[in-house]
Structure 1
């Protein structure tokens, strides 16, 4: 019975891993890049200057612009610069119909910032796969369930995986790939389980809506409202008749909010210049493991009286936000981000080694199979090249496209997407037309060279390429990743030495001597 279970788990791990492995590699690699989405976004907006403004100075700069250009707007919004982003934004209107501009922190003038998909593209692609509606979210959820199944079946298969973790045999061909696959899986097993489960928990209402449908008749708004014991920020009744009144000084309110909530991310002012004005101040996500979205403080816009503060979350809501916060990695600063980034890359390498092992173990077998079997496995190998080397090439091509496309190009963000998906599609065509090993070498080599050339690209296309430390960090990281890709290209170029089993060595020596 135990052997039957092990064999069943081996079949599930092998074929289930192949089916979901390709998309899981895409999800893990783009998720790793999304850890530094804001830093990549800064790199893709080279017009942004460095800043040394305090929150109070930034708010004063934005308010001066809004008073001069948008005095009649019912809603003012200010996004404050902070450690990860130097961008100071002023906006009017709501979330859907709002219009925002980026301000020069020194002069308060509008900065002409280029249109780009930014680093947010990797974040969105990570859980939507750029699919319409909720289709991508459902697909990623199904893949996460497949990942959990692969993890559990892998544990059942490798009963001695802790022993195998300390066993790595380099230069042993297929054995080395398997050792690397097992070691990386065991080393990051807690991370894999955490990141997969927390990813599913984020969209629990979408994946498992039965409880909401039963308790709230499918009314999602009522479901979310019931989670917060306090009334929503802007739903308090206001006086119907309001007269002109000066806006209170925002600086002291910022100091009070910062003392309670920590670093701040933005300010929203409703009905500025009126007696019913209200000021909402938001904290930066990341002061706690639990996501603090919507946990701001509100003040009267005329008297400065505090109307509400961050409320204590219900235990159930706090649990969900802690689990979600573990996935988003907004806490812990840069050390935690680097930990997640490295773990994500190692996880991507684990999935990649498993996909390579699938084809390596069956290469001799399908060479003697029917024409249909040969075509199938040739397609599998081409998809392997496209998913791993081709995606890496597409990601770095997106950054190159950001700097090479004309700044004034219409629908420029869509043009950047065309670069990404166009390069990725060409990598599939290339992998189908070229011999397998040459396709690996050429795509890995080109991706590595483009990563190494990223600082040179900035030098020749940007006036102040290293004005921000975050831009320099992106390029230094690209240099390291480029070196890794070129090392992989070199390893692929090395001839494979087939190891002869000991029991067959004597017989093969005898055959060779007779042949001689």
Structure 2
């Protein structure tokens, strides 16, 4: 370690930033894409038609199917379409043993949609890295702690932090990379601190279980029960004898729930056709900053009487849900989503510039070192290319595979993931075999061309590629990102003007 605190933190920021930076770039880039996970999912299901069904109409379509084909099921579920997704789903049973289908909004018949990894893969990859769930969560948590350490150490070592925000010297080699890294870091410093801390807070019970175990003697079920809200106590008699009974009209219940909770997400019916039937109407996540899952309003399925209503949360629970909601960006509609998306891309660029800066600063030094050191830094540069440019190729390749793989292919979702990881592995092999600058240019250029041509791919593989409104915005965004990648490819191809120190320049002038 170094002598002073600043030097020690600089050492920590440099080497700690390299070790965790590769995975942090993956987490930030996929997190940026996951802001629009539902829109990506819609694009990857081009069979979904656009429609303007109300909640009441959507429920009637789904009930018609369930009554005709699943009348004996103990549980009915209806996923309502919303502003982000036109999909109308009907399901029976639980998540593991149940059946779920997508319905045609016009006819109410089953709508055949292709099997795909969808936007959910990107969302899960963001915080599990496609590892076994708990292992991935712990690893991402450790990386988030490393991110906090890098942020704090970066603040300490940059004494002229505000001056550096307004400083950028293009085409200056190492100096330009450092200026870009500093400016992007300072610009979004509040965002970086918020998104990192809130990401840790989401899984605080997993990361710091000691207090919970001490207070509840290791009984986690008791802990979560204590965190639950206190429902409104409504005295409603439950039927003692279970008999066949018709289901109450759900339309008025939807209107009442919408007035109380805002936009609705789903309707669940237990014991349909029986006197003990219950209707559970759930609100849509995202109409407020607190990330509230579950809850909702319950009604008697025969009389329509309200059994329980929205619950009031304890202050500690509400605080945690607000912090979690700040991370998920489910509030504020599309304007807030675009803010998070752009901030996420700038954050990814900040991490990428730091990774490149590590090798740029040491390029001359390791050129004169031992062959082992040269080989080590060659691998570091290859990993940089793979993580930054290769991941871009893999992500756009996932969308291409959705259009090119046969629709009726067995295990189609797994095949899409094979394409994703296969392209990523090939990018590493390419980065190892090719010269450094050639690898950067070729992989960035490939990703740019694939992004720019995505609308053409849809045009030739789907009858109505922009039938759903969100599909159009996704493809336009893909073209914009392709333009940025193409610009990056062009910048990499430009010769670098190395900065010559003044004293050295004076000596050279005297010699000449």
Same fold by TM-score, threshold 0.5 exceeded? yes
- Structure 1 partner of 2:371: 371
SS class of match (2:298)? strand
Query: Following TM superposition, where does structure 1 have runs of at least 4 consecutive aligned residues deviating by more than 6 angstroms?
Result: none
- Checking the alignment, whether the CA contact within 8 Å between 2:171 and 2:496 is kept in structure 1 is no
The alpha-carbon deviation at position 498 of structure 1 amounts to 1.5
Alignment partners' CA distance in 2, 1:495 and 1:51 = 52
For residues 223-372 of structure 1, the aligned pairs below 5 Å read 223-230=223-230, 239=239, 241-372=241-372
- Structure 2 partner of 1:102: 102
The alpha-carbon deviation at position 99 of structure 1 amounts to 0.9
Alignment partners' CA distance in 2, 1:510 and 1:223 = 78
- Structure 1 partner of 2:35: 35
The alpha-carbon deviation at position 240 of structure 1 amounts to 6.0
- Structure 2 partner of 1:222: 222
SS class of match (1:331)? coil
SS class of match (1:119)? helix
The alpha-carbon deviation at position 500 of structure 1 amounts to 1.2
Alignment partners' CA distance in 1, 2:447 and 2:398 = 11
For residues 362-511 of structure 1, the aligned pairs below 5 Å read 362-511=362-511
- Structure 1 partner of 2:92: 92
The alpha-carbon deviation at position 280 of structure 1 amounts to 0.4
User: CA offsets, 1:33-90, max 9 Å, x none?
Assistant: 0000000000000000001100000000000000000000000000000000000000
SS class of match (2:244)? coil
The alpha-carbon deviation at position 303 of structure 1 amounts to 0.5
Alignment partners' CA distance in 1, 2:491 and 2:433 = 22
The alpha-carbon deviation at position 230 of structure 1 amounts to 3.2
User: CA offsets, 1:150-184, max 9 Å, x none?
Assistant: 00000000011011111112222211111111111
- Structure 2 partner of 1:4: 4
Residue ranges of structure 1 left out of the alignment (5+ in a row): none
Bigger mean CA offset, 501-510 vs 291-300? 501-510
The alpha-carbon deviation at position 115 of structure 1 amounts to 0.5
The alpha-carbon deviation at position 238 of structure 1 amounts to 6.0
User: CA offsets, 1:458-500, max 9 Å, x none?
Assistant: 0000011011110000000000000000000000001112121
SS class of match (2:282)? strand
User: CA offsets, 1:95-117, max 9 Å, x none?
Assistant: 22221000000111101110011
- Structure 1 partner of 2:62: 62
Matched, 1:169 2:175: no
The alpha-carbon deviation at position 3 of structure 1 amounts to 7.0
User: CA offsets, 1:415-438, max 9 Å, x none?
Assistant: 000000000000000000000000
User: CA offsets, 1:112-158, max 9 Å, x none?
Assistant: 11001101111100000000131110000000000000000000000
- Checking the alignment, whether the CA contact within 8 Å between 2:232 and 2:311 is kept in structure 1 is no
SS class of match (2:407)? coil
The alpha-carbon deviation at position 9 of structure 1 amounts to 0.4
SS class of match (2:32)? helix
Alignment partners' CA distance in 2, 1:489 and 1:182 = 22
Alignment partners' CA distance in 1, 2:506 and 2:212 = 70
Alignment partners' CA distance in 2, 1:240 and 1:373 = 79
SS class of match (2:118)? coil
Alignment partners' CA distance in 1, 2:68 and 2:14 = 64
- Checking the alignment, whether the CA contact within 8 Å between 2:231 and 2:309 is kept in structure 1 is no
Cα RMSD of the aligned pairs, angstroms, is: 1.6
Alignment partners' CA distance in 2, 1:74 and 1:230 = 27
Alignment partners' CA distance in 2, 1:451 and 1:294 = 37
User: CA offsets, 1:318-351, max 9 Å, x none?
Assistant: 0000000000000000000000000000000000
Q: TM-score, normalised by structure 2?
A: 0.98
